[in-house]
A and B are shown apart, each in its own frame.
Chain A
Amino acid sequence: MTLAYYPGCSMHGTSREYEESLLAVAAALELGLTEIADWSCCGASSAHAADHLLGVALPARNLALAEAQGADEVLAPCAACYNRLSGAVHAVAEEPGMAAKVPEVLGRAFANSVRVLSIVELLQGLAPVIEERVAARLEPNPLEHLNIAAYWGCLLVRPAAITGFDDAERPTGMDDVISACSANPVSWNMAVECCGGAFSVSRTSSVLRLSRAIIEDARHCGADAILAACPLCHANLDFRQSAMSLRGEPPMPVLYITQLVGLALGLPMAALGFERHFVDTQPLFARLAREAEKAAAAAAERDAAKAARAAAKAGAS
């Protein structure tokens, strides 16, 4: 099995830390990602609204390149790219005439033979490996004290005919990854609500309204942070937080799913791009580290007391 990698445009710009953490995790887990040579933009969020065929053809060019490269799976970590690539696979397979039309407009052979993989599917499949690595670590583990809300947004779960790897209303795959990392998934209400997506620039007021509701619900449900798997969601929740009035409450850190996995694998924070976030994650991790040390000290004390009791009992008998 060869896994091709489709970065998409945001990974080289506003979501650099997503790619940095992905590549660090891929190296640590020896995934062997091969970037699609000369990939082009998938057309998300604009092409489909202008022209349906264009919305299929732009992502299909990349699938055709992956095929030519001998790949049978393509990883698209950006949720929007994943949705457009997967949508193209679906449209070419299901819509009459598309299978003939698409190679024609591409000017390339295209057999529609590649499977598109989201980051959640990939990491969910690796959950046992991640869990093993976490268990093998000895030091007090701050992640055990992290309560985090898995934010799916729209494009990883809808339309179900295109995505379909998890439940559209109550998906659980990201929670599995959180648990494998030894953190605690929070039960909340806004996991599949829209953050305002591509209106970040063209209608910022709507994005602030929608994203604020997501952050407030996460906090209300006890989350220390939000977990994202999409550059657009991350920008709306992290970068736009500075413009939100959060009613005097402290900022809510937003982590990429690959950053969490990187931490679980013991990779240094500097390799995972945390310094690129707008909401500072340091106070949260400092607090988690203190809690972990306190818990470790308490556990040591308990063990010592137990040992002392056992010794006393042995002495008495």
Chain B
Amino acid sequence: MARCYQCGKCSAGCPMGAEMALPPHDIMRLTIANDRERLFNDDSLWLCLTCETCSARCPNDVDPARVIDALRELAAGEGAEHAPRNIRAFHESFLEQIRSTGRLSEVGLIMQYKLRSGALLQDVAVAPAMLRRGKLPLRPQRIAGVGEVKALMAACERERGARAAPAAGGAAAPGAGATGGHHNGEDAR
């Protein structure tokens, strides 16, 4: 990550760059400076689509897409209140669907998303057209191994808790050496 020389090529090709207060090269700069305050008090991280254009075009082989994923993971641990409600609702509903059936029911995802985001009427008008085209199976497919999927999700959560614990001391103080080290460890390839 320290190889980033701020050329801005990542931001130039970013499809969401125009909508971000902090386009990818700014995110890289603030991450190197360990400015959690500015990174986490903004919705830019959550506007990343993980299209990977930034990482594909970086002339110095830095991986901004992976850095942004790691930052979102860190931000989520700190409450993630700056993630736009809709985007957070989508991610939470998505994972909840997998946890409860092992697969993603798009109908279930949309229903849960509506409840979480408050966007109750969004796309309601197109539901009949979707149904007519056979694109909305109403019965979710619950797999036999749903318990196994739930257990693996819980195991990943425990792992994340264990990883976060040693860094917790530094997490409260922006600029603390321990958190900077955590970032570097996270992105070392």
Contacts and interface: CB of A to CB of B under 8 A. Distances in A.
Interface residues of B, number: 62
B52 A40 contact: no
Contact of A107 (B97, B141, B151): B151
A202 B86 contact: yes
Interface in A195-233: 196-199, 201-204, 206, 210
Interface string A35-64: 000111101011111111111011001000
Contacts of A106: 148, 152
A206 B19 contact: yes
B65 interface: yes
B178 interface: no
Interface string A76-107: 00000000000000000000000001001111
A43 B76 contact: no
A105 B155 CA distance: 6
Nearest to B89: A202
A10 B76 CA distance: 27
A301 interface: no
Contact of B15 (A40, A196, A276): A196
B104 A49 contact: no
Contacts of B137: 12-13
A194 B104 contact: no
Contact of A38 (B51, B122, B144, B155): B144
Which of B87, B106, B122, B156 counts the most A-chain CB atoms under 10 A from its CB? B156
B73 interface: yes
A48 B76 CA distance: 12
Interface residues of A, number: 58
A105 B15 contact: no
Contact of B98 (A41, A52, A53): A41
Interface in B11-30: 15-16, 19
A160 interface: yes
A13 B135 contact: yes
B139 to A, nearest CB: 11
B140 to A, nearest CB: 10
B60 interface: no
A194 B160 contact: no
Interface stretch (B2-10, B31-39, B126-134, B168-176): B126-134
A233 B152 CA distance: 29
B49 interface: yes
Contacts of B102: 38, 40-41
B76 A50 contact: yes
A199 B87 contact: yes
Contacts of A12: 103, 137, 141
Nearest to B49: A197
| Pairs A-B, 8 closest by C-beta atoms | A158-B52, A194-B51, A46-B94, A202-B90, A9-B104, A105-B155, A154-B51, A54-B156
13 contacts: A9-B105, A39-B103, A40-B102, A40-B103, A41-B102, A41-B104, A51-B157, A61-B152, A158-B53, A194-B51, A197-B51, A202-B87, A276-B134
Interface of B: 15-16, 19, 47, 49-53, 55-56, 63, 65, 69-70, 72-73, 76, 84, 86-87, 89-91, 94-95, 97-98, 102-107, 109-110, 113, 117, 122-123, 126, 129-130, 133-137, 141, 143-145, 148-149, 151-153, 155-157, 159-160
